[in-house]
């Protein structure tokens, strides 16, 4: 986590509020310079502004801002993930599946981040983390029921990525990121119809499209036409060509989606329809499409699948190890 200004911190055991902020020569705690790094927390619950976290906190001065690092036990971290990454009132087996996947992803990233100041980010760059604030009784129960369990391939935790909805077919890691992994394949997903993103439509004005292109360093004048040039095996757009009144440009569909907003263009599983003063994207699914579809997992749970069956359906060739799975 990063903070630009001062934050108010309270140790749940000590009960005293402390103000931490970046200064010219380092961090300033309650008006007192403490250097570039300052730690607090007695292992209980600590609060930062309106959010609460388990474990300990480390503050690092980064330029004119602060980096806030939460040192927390793995199972507590997983509990803080679920309430931000999935609906807390979903089927218990879906919550358990998400707990296994989130734990696996954390273990994989921790191994990748050795020697760095922290293992994972608290936002969408890794997994969205909410600490104690994001926990519910159902979430704690799902984490406890799967304690220590993770997915492995070659005896190592896998890159357990996931997304909201696949649009009926997940994507392989190779078609999205150019890296083939034997457990991240393109798979058919049934019964995602309850997802609000099964079908979506986004009308983008040509003015807005032009601004997005300029943000990418692409200057082709006023956009006139957008065309999908090729698609992946799962049907997702790979490259698009945009014609303007001063030229044309070809770019990756993922880059265009990011520039227009990933909550607007919800996936690259789209078609493009022309309109007079706009470009209309009509698509299905939400997210990159690789790994577990959360709405697909929910549908499987509602049909009677266990969390073990769910995760092994979405991550073939893996083994569920650790905890009660041994």
**Residue range 199-214, pLDDT digits in tens:** 999 999 999 999 999 9
pLDDT band at 65 (very low <50, low <70, confident <90, very high): confident
pLDDT band at 325 (very low <50, low <70, confident <90, very high): very low
Q: pTM for the whole thing?
A: 0.90
d(CA 246, CA 12): 61
Of the candidate ranges 49-58, 278-287, 293-302, the one whose mean pLDDT is the lowest: 49-58
* pLDDT above 60 (res 3): no
pLDDT band at 18 (very low <50, low <70, confident <90, very high): confident
- Beta bridge partner(s), residue 276: none
* pLDDT above 50 (res 326): no
d(CA 143, CA 172): 28
Q: Are 291 and 315 in contact (CB under 8 A)?
A: yes
- Percent of the chain surpassing pLDDT 70: 95
Pairing of strands 37-40, 162-163: unpaired
Quick one: average pLDDT of 75-102? 96
pLDDT band at 4 (very low <50, low <70, confident <90, very high): low
The mean predicted confidence, pLDDT, of the chain is 91
């Amino acid at each position: 986590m990063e903070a630009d200004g001062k934050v108010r911190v309270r140790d749940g055991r000590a009960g005293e509020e402390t103000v931490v902020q970046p200064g010219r020569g380092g961090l300033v705690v309650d008006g007192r310079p403490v250097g570039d790094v300052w730690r607090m927390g007695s292992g209980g619950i600590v609060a930062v502004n309106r959010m609460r976290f388990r474990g300990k906190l480390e503050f690092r001065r980064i330029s004119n801002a602060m980096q806030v690092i939460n040192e927390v036990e793995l199972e507590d971290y997983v509990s803080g993930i679920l309430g931000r990454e999935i609906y807390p009132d979903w089927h218990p087996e879906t919550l358990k599946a998400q707990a296994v996947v989130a734990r696996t992803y954390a273990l994989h990233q921790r191994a990748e981040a050795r020697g760095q100041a922290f293992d994972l980010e608290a936002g969408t760059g890794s997994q969205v983390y909410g600490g104690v604030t994001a926990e519910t009784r159902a979430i704690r129960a799902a984490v406890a029921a799967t304690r220590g369990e993770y997915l492995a391939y070659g005896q190592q935790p896998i890159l357990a990525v996931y997304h909201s909805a696949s649009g009926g077919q997940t994507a392989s890691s190779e078609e999205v990121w150019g890296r083939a992994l034997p457990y991240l394949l393109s798979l058919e997903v049934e019964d995602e119809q309850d997802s609000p993103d099964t079908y979506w439509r986004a009308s983008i004005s040509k003015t807005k499209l032009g601004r997005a292109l300029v943000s990418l360093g692409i200057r082709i004048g006023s956009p006139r036409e957008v065309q999908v040039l090729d698609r992946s095996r799962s049907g997702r757009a790979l490259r698009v060509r945009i014609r303007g009144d001063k030229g044309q440009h070809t770019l990756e569909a993922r880059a265009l989606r990011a520039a227009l907003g990933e909550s607007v263009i919800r996936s690259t599983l789209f078609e493009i329809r022309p309109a007079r003063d706009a470009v209309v994207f009509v698509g299905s699914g939400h997210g990159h499409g690789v790994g577990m579809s959360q709405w697909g997992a929910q549908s499987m749970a509602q049909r009677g699948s266990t969390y073990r069956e769910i995760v092994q359906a979405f991550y073939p060739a893996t083994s569920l190890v650790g905890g009660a799975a041994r």
